[in-house]
Chains A and B, each alone.
Chain A
């Protein structure tokens, strides 16, 4: 692997940048791997990377149906934060956030993690109390969170509508200063390059079409490029978990829904942090290219269409403009959408399945991107040892039928009411 550096770029300036090698190989699949990871998104690639790096396993393949990073890794609003109310969630995401802070150096690939602050706005005293409760829960567990006064909010984001007569007046906020954004594609590419250099085979255009069974155990996968045997198989295809698990005869507590996002034409810096709201459902940040990145609620009905719809988009934009009126004359230049695994308590699923040697990482709802390093780390541990890491133990698949759900919003088993 050629090391990336400013020096390398300068050298390239003299040779027409001709000395760079492919960031990852394009290998033919072998007949057997110790561990196969289905899904070449950020989570799958991170899992492979940590399997090789931390657990010293070498004979690993990542099978990707299309092109790596082409699912939700490349379709989210790039927000990174760990500000959850419930302990199992904030512990998992905080573990990840700490990894984000050094990820560029770890991977020698600039993932542009920008801890510019992730801020939830409060619009009433009741909101502020809820935000304080969340912040207090985090602080007591050693995670940074600060309440902000109206003045502090205004100073950070001068374009917010701070008028008292606003429909959702801003009373203050809760900020996680270590939260922010990252470059989504770079995460997939960086992990891919790192995993590849440690010997992991990343096999694109290789769709898993079935599982090879020996009794109650999975011993391999059928793919569009033939049968591949495996010691253990990890599903890591959030959005399509239901489909892939279905190939093994499993029904999951997951419903696939579309989550759309959009970006405006680029403008000079105007939004400094990540703006979210306790009462409204929109997320606003500004990319390094200058586009205002916007996200809202999922569609609230099942879909694999990977296509947005104007009703949900217009609602998110209305909410965003109510907060930041100066966005009105910007133009939305592109919309896109991803298929998300909406789990039935809003929390991910990482762990064993009822099928021997088959593991599941999914159910990320609309919050998977920020968990990429933590998801990879804990899933690698689970796949390597056959047992969950302490951080993902609460996220077991059997928690639903047992009654041990992790329901951050308290809205129950219907993903569409979340």
Chain B
């Protein structure tokens, strides 16, 4: 059970978060069909750091990108995504 630092709420238990997908798997709405399927159906899946999208589902419900090492679980960066918000 990891601990993530939510850009909005601070350090919170992983139990409050749900993993969505990696950033390399985001299919943008305007992608060409072939690119979209390539994006949807392949992953870098590195044995190392990757950028993952998590949602603080049971917290502030915001989405974020977390750079995490899949072997050590070390988190090197977290950034908020989503609509601009007041501080």
Direct contact of A and B (CB under 8 A): yes
What is the interface residue range for chain A against chain B?
20 to 34
Within 8 A of B (CB), among A303-324: 303-305, 309-311
What is the interface residue range for chain B against chain A?
20 to 34
Q: What per-residue 1/0 map shows which CB atoms of B68-87 lie under 8 Å from chain A?
A: 00111100000000000000
| A401 in the interface (beta carbon within 8 A) | yes
In the complex, are the beta carbons of B14 and A256 less than 8 A apart? no
Given contacts A302-B22, A305-B73, A310-B1, contact A252 B40 (CB under 8 A): no
CB distance from A363 to the nearest CB of B (A): 11
Question: Which chain A residue shows the least CB distance to B19?
Answer: A301
In the complex, are the beta carbons of A251 and B43 less than 8 A apart? yes
Q: What per-residue 1/0 map shows which CB atoms of A330-362 lie under 8 Å from chain B?
A: 000000000000001000000000000000000
Q: SS class of chain A's interface: helix, strand, loop or mixed?
A: mixed
- CA separation between A302 and B21, bound complex, in Å? 9
Given contacts A246-B46, A302-B50, A310-B1, contact A344 B22 (CB under 8 A): no
- What B residues does A305 contact at CB under 8 A? 70-73
- CA separation between A390 and B54, bound complex, in Å? 40
Question: Which chain B residue shows the least CB distance to A313?
Answer: B1
**Contacting B37 at CB < 8 Å: which of A302, A309, A311, A401?**
A401
- What A residues does B52 contact at CB under 8 A? 301-302
CB distance from B27 to the nearest CB of A (A): 10
Within 8 A of A (CB), among B41-60: 41-47, 50, 52, 54
Q: Which among A253, A301, A309 has the greatest number of chain B C-beta atoms within 10 A? A: A301
| A70 in the interface (beta carbon within 8 A) | no
CB distance from B7 to the nearest CB of A (A): 19
A242-B47, A254-B45, A303-B70 given. 12 additional CB < 8 A pairs? A246-B46, A251-B45, A302-B19, A303-B73, A304-B71, A305-B71, A305-B72, A311-B15, A344-B40, A344-B41, A401-B38, A416-B21
Lowest 8 A-B CB distances belong to which pairs?
Answer: A242-B45, A301-B19, A251-B42, A400-B41, A253-B41, A243-B47, A304-B70, A304-B71
A-B contact pairs, 21 of them (CB 8 A): A240-B47, A242-B43, A251-B44, A252-B42, A252-B43, A252-B45, A253-B41, A253-B43, A254-B45, A301-B19, A302-B19, A302-B70, A305-B72, A311-B1, A311-B15, A344-B41, A400-B37, A401-B41, A413-B40, A413-B41, A414-B20
